Amino acid sequence: MQISFSHEYPKLHGQKSAILLAVEFCGRSDLTEKFIEYDTAYLGGNYPLPPAKYLVLVFLGDEMIPFTTVRRWTEEKFRYYYNSIGKVFNMEVICADGK
């Protein structure tokens, strides 16, 4: 399985794969500013997280460093990730500038 990131996020600690541990459903207003700062920070800024419904995915990386990632909610994404709990995802960074 594969999961992509738009930037190099410090929270990933350069890990290359991770096991999906949990999937949580929430609205943007349910997330604290401290969590948003942690989850969206990358070198040079923060990824925007506008008001919407989201899935918070909780992973344990291949170096045993846990991290989260927030993905916009759809019923299809929820089913996909929920059915993937316990599976390993290979991680790739696809920067917006194509690098």
Alpha-helix residue ranges (DSSP H) falling in 1-99: 33-40, 75-82
pTM for this prediction = 0.91
CA distance 85 to 99: 30
pLDDT tens-digit map of 15-34: 999 999 999 999 999 999 99
Average pLDDT over residues 59-82: 97
% of the chain exceeding 70 in pLDDT: 96
For residues 49 and 40, the answer to whether their CB atoms sit within 8 Å is: yes
CA distance 41 to 71: 15
